[in-house]
Amino acid sequence: MNLGMLRLLKPLAILLATSLCGSVYDFDLIKKGKEDNNTLLVVGGIQGDEPGGFLSASLLATHYKITKGSLWIVPNLNFYSIIQRSRGPYGDMNRKFAHIDQNDPEYANIQRIKHYIQADTVKLIVNLHDGSGFYRPYFEDKCRAPNRWGQCSIIDQQALPMQEYGDLETIANSVVEYVNKSLLRPKDRYHLHNTHTKEGNKEMEKTLTYYAINQGKAAFGNEASKSLPAHERVYYHLLALERYMQIMGIEYTREFDLSPLGIYNVINNDISVSFYKGSISLPLADIKKELHYFPITKNEQLEFQASNPLMKLLETKNGYVLHYGNRELVRLLTDKFVHTPTKEKVKIEVDRELHDITFGSLLEVKDYFMIKPSQGFRINVIGFQTHQKDECDIKIHKKNLPACFSIDTKGKIYRVEYYKDDAFAGMILVKFV
């Protein structure tokens, strides 16, 4: 039996639930590696209907280790637009860098990202996008044409008057060549797209990358095609980002296989959230759309810790809704208690072995589990029905727990809740394997 605590893979920060009526959310800046004078800044989520970009940036933040060099990541620049699945609820954020009114709801976030772009340590910037169709220098068909944006490396001009990373065209061509060595299919081929912005491209003059090069920074757009599923877009974005890191001498290790299947699994299965400093932990792969009677503290703002920066917990009339990027993962329909946190361990027998367990753990069970009496605790195994007052010292098998009470769609994971008097103390999950 594999027994242990379900740990958050990359706990990023203690976060607070936000009211659903909030309209603009702060973005994260995640710094990795050892900060130096050669920092790569990666930006995702400037447009909320382009998941390939923000998912790629989030994986760079959570599943890459920088062993040499400096990497800054903004995975959720326009977080509100991500949740809304919108290009921009207040207009296209990527058209606000030449001018923005101080009354614009996004003014503060634009000023903040400009500050990071201007940082002396930042030398190269990559802005991640998903674009329509497949960019081609010459017309092939309506999906493969010069007016399409997918599958290309974008520069605003050929070069900048600086020695380090100034040859934008050569760098972009190197990225294009690198990506094209690992295509999933020939039609996905990457191309260089020079927008020649200062020659009169009024739309591109308003963008983040054009702002950056006017601050003396090497800046590139990287586009994956919206014709591809999200995990394949991420595949191409990460290929390009790895090449940019190589060009800058940034060394890294990756915690998953860079393949469509490896990326799909890590995006969808390697996610979790915890509450109250770990006394409740939830694996989010296969989580049900609603969890009823979820215990939270009365009259306190709910804190949570997420494994991914694309998670946002929004308060609703009946509880909370947890978003992951532009997906609504689960609604927590709450039951409010006084919360009494404790580091005490409790005893549970699992398949004839007795263990001391901390709250927030996930126990894997083959045959049965049995809660042992713990002084001062009242135990509620959600879904288990017995005529006894106490649910201790009873062997509980999978057949004793109706699937409708599980927290996952596969009917394998169940809640064991501990209370002291009327106060909630913590939760343990049991998973039948």
Taken in order of first residue, the domains within the chain and their CATH numbers are 34-267 (3.40.630.10), 271-432 (no CATH)
Q: Which residues of the chain have pLDDT under 70?
A: 1-14, 16, 19-23, 299
Q: What pLDDT is recorded for position 6?
A: 37
- Find the angle CA(415)-CA(420)-CA(424) to the nearest 5 degrees: 50
Contacts of 387 (CB under 8 A, 6+ apart): none
DSSP characters over 155-186: ESSS--SSSSS--HHHHHHHHHHHHHTT-SSG
pTM of the full structure: 0.93
Q: What pLDDT is recorded for position 359?
A: 94
In the chain, the N- to C-terminal Cα span, in Å, equals 9
Q: How far is CA 421 from CA 260, 380, 385, 409, 424, in A?
A: 50, 12, 20, 32, 8
Tokens of 284: 């989010």
Using a pLDDT cut of 70, give the percent of the chain over it.
95
Q: How far is CA 140 from CA 133, 143, 187, in A?
A: 12, 8, 12
C-alpha atoms less than 13 angstroms from C-alpha of 75 in its C-beta half-sphere: 26
Q: What pLDDT is recorded for position 12?
A: 53
Contacts of 150 (CB under 8 A, 6+ apart): 130, 131, 132, 133, 134, 135, 223, 224, 225, 226, 227, 228
Q: For the chain, what percentages of helix, strand and coil (3-state, to nearest 5) are there?
A: 25, 35, 40
Residue spans of alpha helices (H) in 86-167: 107-118
Which of helix, strand or coil describes residue 232? helix
C-alpha atoms less than 13 angstroms from C-alpha of 73 in its C-beta half-sphere: 27
Tokens of 415: 């809640």
Q: What pLDDT is recorded for position 10?
A: 43
Nearest to 21 by CA among 306, 310, 317, 334: 317
